[in-house]
Chains A and B, each alone.
Chain A
C-alpha cells in the first residue's frame, strides 16, 4: 500500500472525528440549555422592545 492509500483512510477517519465532534456537541448543547436561551438572539435592539410592548416572546 502506498502512502496515498493511508492518506485516504486518514481523511475518512478525520472526517468522522470532526463530524462526531459537531453532532455530539450539538446534542449536548441542545439538552443542556433551554430552547428559549438558545434562540434568544434578536436582530436589532428595537425588535426586542417591540416584542416587550407586544407582550409576547417569539
Chain B
C-alpha cells in the first residue's frame, strides 16, 4: 500500500479551520438558546397557593424555610410551586432514538474505513 503523505498545512488555513470549529461550537450552544428552544424550564401552575398551608408545607419544612431567612411564604412560593412537565410525544422519542443510533452507526462506519487504511499502511510493509 502506498504511503500516504499528508500535505503541510499553512498558517492561514490552520486559522481558518479553528474559526470553523469555533463557529460550530458556539452555534450548537447558542442557537437553541436564542430560538428559545432550550428546555428544562420549570413552570408555576396558575392559581398556585401562596401560603404555607396551601403549598402543603409541614411544620418541619416551614421551620427550615424560616431558618433560611424566608419568613414570608410568598417570597419562596415560586420555588416551591414550580414543576417540570414530563409529558412527551412518542414521535419525538422515536426521532431522538433514530438520531442517536444513526449518529453512532455513521461514526463506526466511517471510522472502520479509515481504520483499515491505517492498519494496512502500518502493518503491510
A–B contact via C-beta, under 8 angstroms: yes
**Bound Cα distance A58, B3 (Å):** 14
The answer to whether A50 and B122 have CB atoms under 8 Å apart is: yes
**Shortest Cβ gap from A43 to chain B (Å):** 13
The answer to whether B122 and A56 have CB atoms under 8 Å apart is: no
A54 at the interface (CB under 8 A from B): yes
Chain B residue contacts of A54, Cβ below 8 A = 3, 5
**Shortest Cβ gap from A44 to chain B (Å):** 12
A interface residues (Cβ-Cβ under 8 A, vs B)? 50, 54, 56, 58
Q: Which chain B residues in 1-28 approach chain A with CB under 8 Å? A: 3, 5-6
The answer to whether A58 and B6 have CB atoms under 8 Å apart is: yes
Q: Which chain B residues in 108-125 approach chain A with CB under 8 Å? A: 122
Chain A minimum-CB-distance residue to B4: A54
5 residue pairs of the A-B complex, CB under 8 angstroms, read: A50-B122, A54-B3, A54-B5, A56-B5, A58-B6
